[in-house]
Amino acid sequence: MSYNLLKGKRGIIFGALDENSIAWKTAERVHEEGGTFVLTNAPVAMRMGQINELAEKTGSQIIPADATSVEDLQNLVEKSMEILGGKIDFVLHSIGMSINVRKGNHYTDQNYAYTQKGTDVSAMSFHKVMQTLYKAEAMNEWGSIVGLSYMAAQRVFPDYNDMADNKAYLESVARSFGYFFGKDKKVRVNTISQSPTPTTAGSGVKGFDGFIAYADKMSPLGNATALDCANYTVSLFSDLTKRVTLQNLYNDGGFSNMGVSNEVMEAFVASEKK
């Protein structure tokens, strides 16, 4: 169902890889709601994914950009405004990567060169994106910038590894930069802390299926899907949330406020009896 919530709005969507990714679902929903956008991803990710298919489907152009490169981001912002015919109203930062996770390095045995690269890609890139937009005066007033986070920024999930630190950094950048973007340009900045979602990025984390099953049993409404996240993002891009900023917003079926659920207790008691 479409409500035309984003009619006439222009944006940039980072990180669409394949149809499982939250950015992909968000792009589809933004398109349905009347928004136009440029798609962008790192050149290496574009070779792996099916972004051309999404571009065709949504009538969008693709600009490859390495989100850790200020030069690439400047080019992206400049070209996006040319293509879209004006300033930007919304931006989705849906980027995260940990080489330590990929290589199976334990949190207590990190390769710090990998750690640094992961931090740059997953968190510092959010600052770089916003700084580039800010300096270029590229955002319209009442524009909206959203980054995707996860609960491990606040609580311990042992196998989430250094991605937990990256997400904590991401959320801090959203608040700190969000203050200046709000005061100086009337732009809002928020992060969405999403349920564990079976995306290509998420599935690299050890024991991820267990994360998903546990969170689903803990949450009164069950896990939020990628489509749920896309819908929530659309609401944050729309004019209906004009005064929502500096927030980390949980889209997780209630997981973040749970101590324990009956289902988890029952499973635990059953395994104890064995």
Distant-in-sequence, close-in-space partners of 273: CB < 8 Å, separation ≥ 6: none
214 is annotated as an active-site residue? no
Question: Cα dihedral sign for 49, 52, 57, 61?
Answer: positive
Closest CA to 120 of 110, 108, 129, 133: 129
Given 114, 160, 214, 250, which residue is catalytic? 160
95 is in an annotated binding site: yes
- Residue 258 dihedral angles phi and psi, to the nearest 5°: -90, 145
22 is in an annotated binding site: yes
204 is in an annotated binding site: no
Burial 200-232 (b: 16+ CB within 10 A, else e): ebbeebeebeebbebbbbbbeebbbbbebbbbb
150 is annotated as an active-site residue? yes
104 is in an annotated binding site: no
167 is in an annotated binding site: yes
Given 114, 150, 214, 232, which residue is catalytic? 150
Neighbours of 62 (CB within 10 A): 15
Question: What positions carry a catalytic annotation?
Answer: 150, 160
Q: Specify binding-site residues for NAD(+).
A: 15, 21-22, 95, 167
Q: Specify binding-site residues.
A: 15, 21-22, 95, 167
